[in-house]
Amino acid sequence: MILAADPLLVDGIDLTVVLIVLLKAGVAFALLLVAVMLVIWFERKLISDMQNRIGPALAGPWGILQTLADGIKLFFKEDLLPTRADRVVFRLAPYLSIIPAFVAFAIVPVGGDFSDGGDGTVSMFGRSTFLQVADPPVGVLFFLALSAVAVYGVMLAGWSSGSKYPLLGSVRASAQMISYEAALGLAIATVFLSSGSLSTHDIVVGQSATTWNVLATGIVPFGIFLIAGTAELNRPPFDLVEAEQELVGGFHTEYSSIRFALFFLSEFMNMITMSAIAVTLFLGGPAGPIVTQRVAWVWPLFWFFLKVMAFLFTFVWLRATLPRFRYDQLMDLGWKVLIPAALGWFLLIATLDVAADLGWPTIPVVIVGVLVLWGGASLLSGAVRKAQAERLEEADRGADETAGSASGLGEA
């Protein structure tokens, strides 16, 4: 049984260990905050380039300090508390939003040599350790749990504002985020099949031994993860939570000053974390094609950041290109496409793994598996189609009877 354990912590805890842990935590925070600053600038600059604008250009070279300037400005802004707000919850909500965003990043291995069966340890002050803040044995589950906690931040922020747009936004947020959380979990489950562990470190090690999970699990779970992840982040085209044209600012409409900045920070931090998790789970984490002997410790970091950047670029690209889904279309995509697809694919991959384990021939197993899944899916979707037809018929019949009461509803 592999129990992931950071070698740093195996031999008991002394002062050096505590210092190293604190150092790692400090570096992680600094890294995260600087990264958020740069990512916000990156997004603004990139999207303005795509939209034929200049974007931030005045604060610092190429406007790179724009985010810092905005942040400082927000420090000096008055903090407003709406009259009808629920005071305690209103103040609590930013914490619930940003702390999960901070903590989730702790489980991501950002560096360490994973090539040629390396286990990613680095030595630091004479101790060997992993380049990640913590490696709990159920790391990925921890990430899922934190992203579920983040729903509370958004939901309570909207509800406690005592205002209508935030309320509508938060109702949307809670339904959207929990729906896609299910799809996200199922997509990740497929990774566990090939990795056999819930620890992020072990998953990366497993990928360096064989192929990256994006291929090992077939492309489908990766695609589902990307879509569900985008929805989980409330990024376009799934940004219904803060749909500006409908709900103005969505859940954070009533927030001002530094509390607003915290929501803003957490949104971008989640974006970085989600990209990093995607890299960890599917794209081999810090592993990369080129690792030289000299300055060997730089290359994993380089590959990791390159991959994360690719995801961040994709998120910005999606925002620049796509219109927003409507709520029911979003839910349809989540419940009627992604979840069934994820379930089916999960079973298929599991079957293949078991078959490979028992030495059954692969191709017949694939054919039989696909046939069974296809049969089951078409059976169920046939039932749904029939039910829909029946319901429409019923609605047609019911229309005349209820026309009177419906007009009453309209005048209410």
Partner 1 sequence: MSDYLRNWLTLVVFGGVAVLLVGAFLGLGSLVRPSRQTSQKAVVYESGVDPQGDMWSQSNIRYYVFALMFVLFDVEAVFIFPWATRLEVYDVFGLVEMAIFIFILALGLFYAWRKGLLRWI
Partner 2 sequence: MNDVANRNQLAYIAAQASDARVNVEFESEGMTLNLGPQHPATHGTLRVIVKLDGERVLRADPMMGYMHRGYEKLAEVRTYPQVTTLVNRIDWLGSFANEVPFILAAEQLMEVEAPPRAQWIRTILFELSRIANVILFLGDMGVQLGAVTPVFFAFRDREFVLNQIEAVTGGRFHPNFDRIGGLKDDLPKGWIEETTGVLDRIRTFCDEMEDLVTGNEIFQARTRGIGVIPAEVGLAYGLSGANIRASGVDWDLRRDGGVGLVHDQVDWKVWTHPDGDSFARYWVRLQEVREACGIIEQLLGGIPSGPVMAKVPRIIKVPAGEAYVETENPLGVMGYYVVSKGDLVPFRVKIRSASFNNISITPWVLEGTYVPDVVSILASLYFILGDIDR
Burial class (CB in 10 A: 0-12, 13-18, 19+), 241: buried
209 is a site residue for partner 2 (CB under 8 A): no
Given candidates 19, 49, 58, 77, which one binds partner 1 under the rule CB under 8 A? 77
**Closest to 310 in 3D by CA, of 279, 285, 286, 288:** 279
Given candidates 209, 370, 380, 389, which one binds partner 1 under the rule CB under 8 A? 380
Smallest gap from Cβ 400 to partner 2, in A, equals 7
- Give the up-direction half-sphere exposure of residue 16: CA atoms within 13 A in the CB hemisphere: 11
Tokens found for residue 249: 């600012």
Smallest gap from Cβ 163 to partner 2, in A, equals 10
Instruction: Give residue 351's Cα distance to chain centre.
Output: 27
Q: Cα separation of 56 and 68, whole Å?
A: 12
- For residue 133, the 8-state DSSP code is S
Given candidates 56, 109, 136, 221, which one binds partner 1 under the rule CB under 8 A? 136
Q: Within positions 135 to 194, which residues make up the interface with partner 2, using CB under 8 A?
A: 164-165, 168
Q: Within positions 153 to 172, which residues make up the interface with partner 1, using CB under 8 A?
A: 161-165, 167, 171
For partner 2, the closer of residues 116 and 401 by Cβ is 401
Instruction: Give residue 82's Cα distance to chain centre.
Output: 31
Q: What's the Rg (C-alpha) of the chain? A: 24
Peptide bond into 237 cis (omega under 30): yes
79 is a site residue for partner 1 (CB under 8 A): yes
Contact 213, 195 (CB under 8 A): yes
Given candidates 186, 214, 228, 283, which one binds partner 1 under the rule CB under 8 A? 186
240 is a site residue for partner 1 (CB under 8 A): no
Given candidates 3, 10, 15, 52, which one binds partner 2 under the rule CB under 8 A? 52
300 is a site residue for partner 2 (CB under 8 A): no
Smallest gap from Cβ 259 to partner 1, in A, equals 7
Q: Cα separation of 121 and 93, whole Å?
A: 38
Smallest gap from Cβ 289 to partner 1, in A, equals 29
Q: x/- binding map, residues 360-379, to partner 2, per CB under 8 A? A: --------------------
Q: 399 to each of 376, 384, 385, 396, 406, how far by Cα in Å?
A: 34, 22, 21, 5, 9
Q: 124 to each of 23, 130, 158, 173, 249, how far by Cα in Å?
A: 11, 9, 45, 43, 45
Given candidates 152, 305, 313, 335, which one binds partner 1 under the rule CB under 8 A? 335
Q: Within positions 86 to 125, which residues make up the interface with partner 1, using CB under 8 A?
A: 94-95, 98-99, 102-103, 106
390 is a site residue for partner 2 (CB under 8 A): no
Q: Cα separation of 112 and 301, whole Å?
A: 8
402 is a site residue for partner 2 (CB under 8 A): yes
Q: Which does 53 bind (CB under 5 to 8 A by kind): partner 2, partner 1, none?
A: partner 2
The set of long-range contacts for 357-363, using a CB threshold of 8 Å and a minimum separation of 24, is none
Which residues of this protein are in contact with partner 2, per CB under 8 A? 50-53, 164-165, 168, 236-237, 239-240, 243-248, 319-329, 391, 394-396, 398-403, 405-407, 409-412
